[in-house]
Amino acid sequence: MCIDQERKLAILLIGPTGSGKSPLGKSLEEKTDCAHFDFGAHLRKIASGKNLFGLSDGDKTLITELIQANALLPEGRFDIAEKILEFFIKQHSDSHYIVLNGLPRHVDQAKRISQSIEIRHVVHLRCTAKIVRERVHRRKSGKSNDDSKRDDDCEEDIARKIKIFNQQTKPILDYYCRIGLKVIELDIDFDTTEDELLGELRKMIKL
């Protein structure tokens, strides 16, 4: 991935499914000088034929197949993620921060996107499996502020995503600590709102 400009500053949101990354990202975009990059949401839009980010027909077909199978982007095709991110950065060049949500998913991806993104702040939405399940149930029933439409909110998929998060994504926190970044820990409860989280972040980050 190569962008002919200085690396874009970013805030990285890390947390399991249902922890509130998307509502917080939307709130940051609406109320601060940030652009919210929700990787999963962009993949779902691409699969539905919206906002193709300059991808080829073959790329779109692969993404559609992955979404239908509730599968992750294979590592051999991480170039697709880079294309989408590069396109998004160009679209939001005036924003002070890009808020990353859903990318990177593990340490190797974190190292790879560092060519174009400079992570300034890492925000860990700390959430137990019990709370994850309750929050996803509320999302599915329409009782939460997360209005993203998901077809993978069944119990089996929730358990799978929690396992992937713990095994692959959570180690990113240690990686960023090792390279000198402080991780901001925000505890998530059943009814924690994005406004509460934004309020906490404003105490720690100049937004």
Instruction: Give me the mean pLDDT over the 27-42 stretch.
Output: 96
pLDDT at 76: 92
Instruction: Give me the mean pLDDT over the 40-48 stretch.
Output: 92
pLDDT at 156: 86
Instruction: Out of 41-45, 142-146, 182-186, pick the least confident.
Output: 142-146
CA distance 73 to 168: 14
Spell out the domain ranges in the chain: 8-37+96-202
Cis ω before 171 (30° cut-off from 0): no
Cβ–Cβ under 8 Å, residues 95 and 34: yes
pLDDT, greater one: 183 or 71 = 183
Mean confidence (pLDDT) of the chain: 90
CA distance 46 to 113: 21
Q: If pLDDT is split at 50, 70 and 90, which confidence band does 4 have? A: very low
What's the whole-model pTM score? Answer: 0.89
Of 64, 67, 61, 36, the closest CA to residue 157 belongs to 67
CA distance 69 to 58: 17
Taking only the tens place, the pLDDT of each residue in 68-119 is 888 888 889 999 999 999 999 999 999 999 999 999 999 999 999 998 899 9
Instruction: Give me the mean pLDDT over the 156-179 stretch.
Output: 93
Percent of the chain residues topping a pLDDT of 90: 75
pLDDT at 175: 97
Dihedral pair phi/psi, residue 118, rounded to 5°: -105, 105
Tell me the β-bridge partners of 68: none
Q: If pLDDT is split at 50, 70 and 90, which confidence band does 141 have? A: low
| Amino acid at the residue 70 | N
Flag whether pLDDT at 3 surpasses 50: no
What's the CATH number for 8-37+96-202?
A: 3.40.50.300
